[in-house]
Structure 1
Amino acid sequence: MTRIAFERLAWAYVAFIWVMSLIPLSMPAMPNSDKIGHFLSYGLLALWFSLARQKKLPHIWLLASLMGVAIEFAQALTPYRSFDTHDMLANACGALIGTLLAVALLQWLPHSLRIQTDKS
């Protein structure tokens, strides 16, 4: 898969996170169990973008974390969602682990298996 195609899928995932974060959903049965979902969602987001844009890893972690902060503020403006600093922390931690996982994968994967850059 080319870098552009991989990046387009990553942007679609960004849209998915925004939609899922702002639509009304029922609360989880166990308190704070949503933090696992936050951690995994932002970990995958950072991993995906880090693999697509291999030279911008610190920026990816920061932007993913800031997106989580922005979504929390947007949720505060809705009648059915709430602002939660613990969600922001779970988002940032997930993004950090996703970025670090990408660093490890990029060092471990042979160059031939990495995402190919488009030549245009």
Structure 2
Amino acid sequence: MWTTKRGFQILFYLLLLSVLVLSLLPIDQPDFSPNDKVNHLLAYGVLMVSGYLAHRHLVLAALIVILFGVLVELLQGLTSYRMFSFADMVADCAGVALGCAVILAAKPIIKKIRQER
């Protein structure tokens, strides 16, 4: 039977796969780009929120997304056309923190809406 949680799990893992593929494609980009760091921040913020919706556990979702970011950077370091970037990992972690902040800010609002029903 299809459930909302199952739908969020599918979405989360599809997003992880999409980020992995996009992160390993060869591209021509400077070593450090502010736009690149914003992209990391937003992508990993979305991954964090979707991971939380999929697993309903803040720490577990954060751990999965952070470890995924480290894995992606390690895999990029193994390619001849991408490079390992500590700055990208910092931006990934900032995205996870942003996602956590969004989740924590939204929780009381969602709880209040549910109580009014």
**TM-score exceeds 0.5:** yes
Contact 1:51 1:102 (8 Å CA) reproduced? no
> What fraction of aligned residue pairs are identical, expressed as a percent?
32
Partner of 1:118: none
Total equivalences in the alignment: 110
Moved runs in structure 1, 4+ residues, more than 6 A? Answer: none
User: Once superposed, what is the RMSD of the aligned Cα atoms?
Assistant: 1.8
How many Å apart are 1:111 and its aligned residue? 3.0
TM (normalized to structure 2)?
0.85
Residue equivalent to 2:95: 94
Q: Which runs of 5+ in 2 are unaligned?
A: none
- Corresponding residue of 1:58: 59
| 1:38 CA drift (Å) | 0.5
Structure ranking higher on relative contact order (CA contacts 8 Å, 6+ apart): 1
Alignment of 1:26-65 (within 5 A): 26-27=28-29, 31-54=33-56, 56-65=57-66
Deviation digits for residues 16-43 of structure 1, max 9, x if unmatched? 0000000112216x73320110110000
Give 1 or 2: higher helix fraction: 2
TM-score, normalised via structure 1 length: 0.83
Shift of 1:50: 1.2
